[in-house]
Amino acid sequence: MSPRVVLDPVGLFRRVPLQPHQLTEPVTPTADVPVLAHFGVPRVAEAGWSFELTGLVRRPRTYSLDELRGYPRRELMAFHQCVGNPLTPGAPARRISNVVWGGVDLRTLLDEAGVEPGASFLWSYGLDGGRFADVDCEAFVKDVRLSRVDSGDVLVAYELNGEPLTAQHGFPARLVVPGWYGTNSVKWLHRMVLADRRADGPFTTTFYNEPPPPTPEDPSPAPRPVWEIAPESVVVSPAPGARVRAGDEVDVWGWAWAPAGVRTVEVSVGNGWSPATVETREQLAWQRFRMRWRPAAPGEVTVACRAVDNTGVGQPSVTARNQVHSVPVTVTA
């Protein structure tokens, strides 16, 4: 069903993310934003490209890139995170960036198309397909609840950090579901279908389903779709292996992010947890935290951080994607 498309390269393509201590820029430069493409990178020409909005809508239609640019342009700064390898749930990946998207609010397109009663999910198709983890797949398809689209900030984006999308990031246009893991933000958009149920493809039902962290009430929870991003934080400075002098003042800082916004971040320098100051959130961006530390005595110290979001949910200490991040630091005399 998808038109033929040239993939270059062909096969799983990843741009390795920056390490946490390299995340020094508030907005991640495009060349450093992690890339994940399961089947390769489609090379799509603007001429001849369009995407179709169809299914449970009164007025199905297609849009060229120029037509998309003709709608009011929305700009949105948001953290953008790949959950990690779907074959290794529970392993922290820390593929995180903070970017500025530009595009059209999807609600504008849906309002114009007229959503039929009964529609509850939006299925998005990429132009890419192929084989991933021994499963053949005609097209990369993901779904999102319409209620998430209705709550706002879901874009059909054609810009990243003020420039047209690069091929790797989804040129000509992609979905952006901010606050949800990157896998849901379908690149190289080809088709959107309004439906009354979830999409049943390998990327909605097989891959990208993970159990949430166990709780005392539910020690072995069932897998659920990888949708909303869990609260997380990383130490940017000091870097792992850094040497700091006893008695000097050390600026411990990093980034914390959660769809609901971050309420508190605590930092540990080896003996309990202390509150860090957290900057107020701009749009859906990650938030900087910092704490001054004056190490008293020489020795090996583990510097760690943990965030709690505005609904009171925090980070597990172990065995979770968003487990607490820590770095070893040497305090010298």
Ligand X SMILES: Nc1nc2c(c(=O)[nH]1)N[C@H]1C(S)=C(S)[C@@H](COP(=O)(O)O)O[C@H]1N2
Of 89, 182, 201, 231, the one binding Mo ion (CB under 5 A) is 182
Do residues 173 and 182 lie in contact, with contact meaning Cβ atoms separated by under 8 Å? no
Interaction between residue 34 and Mo ion (CB under 5 A) = no
Find which of ligand X, Mo ion, none residue 324 binds, CB within 5 to 8 Å per kind: none
Q: Which stretch binds Mo ion (CB under 5 A): 43-51, 53-61, 77-85, 96-104?
A: 77-85
Rounded least distance, CB 203 to ligand X, Å? 8
Helices (H) and strands (E) in the chain, counts: 4, 27
Interaction between residue 89 and Mo ion (CB under 5 A) = no
Q: Which stretch binds Mo ion (CB under 5 A): 2-10, 35-43, 53-61, 317-325?
A: 35-43
Rounded least distance, CB 218 to ligand X, Å? 27
Find which of ligand X, Mo ion, none residue 187 binds, CB within 5 to 8 Å per kind: ligand X
Q: How many CA atoms lie within 13 A of 241 on its CB side?
A: 1
Taken as a whole, the chain contains a residue count of: 333
Q: Provide CB contacts within 8 A for 165, sequence distance 6+.
A: 157, 158, 159, 171, 172, 173, 174
Interaction between residue 82 and Mo ion (CB under 5 A) = yes
Do residues 179 and 78 lie in contact, with contact meaning Cβ atoms separated by under 8 Å? yes
The strand pairing partners of 175, in sequence order, are 156
Q: Which stretch binds Mo ion (CB under 5 A): 49-57, 60-68, 100-108, 182-190?
A: 182-190
Sign of the torsion formed by the C-alpha atoms of 65, 69, 74 and 77: positive
Q: Which residues make up the interface to ligand X (CB under 6 A)?
A: 33-38, 82, 126, 128, 140, 169-170, 182-183, 185-188
Closest Cα to residue 202, out of 122, 124, 132? 132
Which of 204/264 has CB closer to Mo ion?
Answer: 204
Interaction between residue 20 and Mo ion (CB under 5 A) = no
Tell me which residue has its CB nearest to Mo ion.
Answer: 82
Alpha carbons 226 and 98: distance in angstroms, whole number: 19
Rounded least distance, CB 68 to ligand X, Å? 17
The count of residues interacting with Mo ion (CB under 5 A) is 4
Rounded least distance, CB 16 to Mo ion, Å? 13
Tokens at residue 84, please? 């990690």
Closest Cα to residue 158, out of 106, 80, 81, 229? 106
- Footprint of Mo ion on this chain (CB under 5 A)? 36, 82, 182-183
